[in-house]
């Protein structure tokens, strides 16, 4: 399973590092996932430094909720990602940032869940992530 869906896992890690560099989350905050095939998704793990995350540290979960990479502990919000993918088949990726995690983060954004999967937010998310 380590090499399965490497490109998707690599994209999740790359996006998480970018979100961190842009100061949209803290080293341990936020989570990102993307679909990996028709029946699973890649998701950032829990307890990993988001500034240094690598593809091999990104987990895989199927749409039945089974952790396909049991050596990795998925984000504590994996169930939210699962439910979104189950309910909205057109969603390809989810970015859940915690901008208040940095001292310079916008105070107004702290504590608010940003629904990146909503069509209104899609263009903004693409600008932030550089089209990934």
Q: Residue 125's pLDDT is what?
A: 52
pLDDT tens by residue, 55-77: 999 999 999 999 999 999 999 89
Q: Where are the domains of the chain?
A: 6-129
- Domain 6-129 carries which CATH code? 3.40.225.10
Residue-level pLDDT, tens digit, the chain, 132 residues: 557 899 999 999 999 998 888 888 877 778 999 999 999 999 999 888 888 999 999 999 999 999 999 999 999 899 999 999 999 999 999 998 877 654 443 333 333 334 444 444 555 555 545 554
Q: Cα–Cα distance between 124 and 81 in angstroms, integer? A: 19
27 burial via Cβ count (<10 Å: 0-12, 13-18, 19+): middle
Per-residue DSSP letters for 20-83?
A: HHTTSS-SS--EEEEE-SSSEEEEPBSSS-TTS--GGG-EEEETTS-BS-TTS-B-TTHHHHHH
């Amino acid at each position: 399973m380590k090499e399965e869906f490497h490109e998707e896992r690599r994209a999740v890690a790359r996006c998480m590092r970018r979100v961190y560099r842009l100061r949209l989350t803290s080293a341990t905050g936020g989570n990102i996932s993307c679909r990996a095939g028709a029946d699973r998704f890649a998701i950032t793990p829990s307890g990993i430094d988001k500034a240094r995350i690598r593809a091999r540290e990104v987990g895989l979960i199927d749409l039945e909720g089974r952790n396909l990479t049991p050596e990795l502990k998925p984000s504590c919000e994996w169930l939210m990602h699962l439910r979104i993918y189950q309910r909205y088949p057109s969603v390809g990726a989810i970015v859940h940032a915690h901008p208040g995690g940095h001292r310079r983060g916008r105070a107004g954004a702290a504590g608010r869940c940003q629904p990146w999967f909503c069509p209104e937010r899609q263009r903004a998310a693409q600008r932030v992530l550089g089209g990934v």
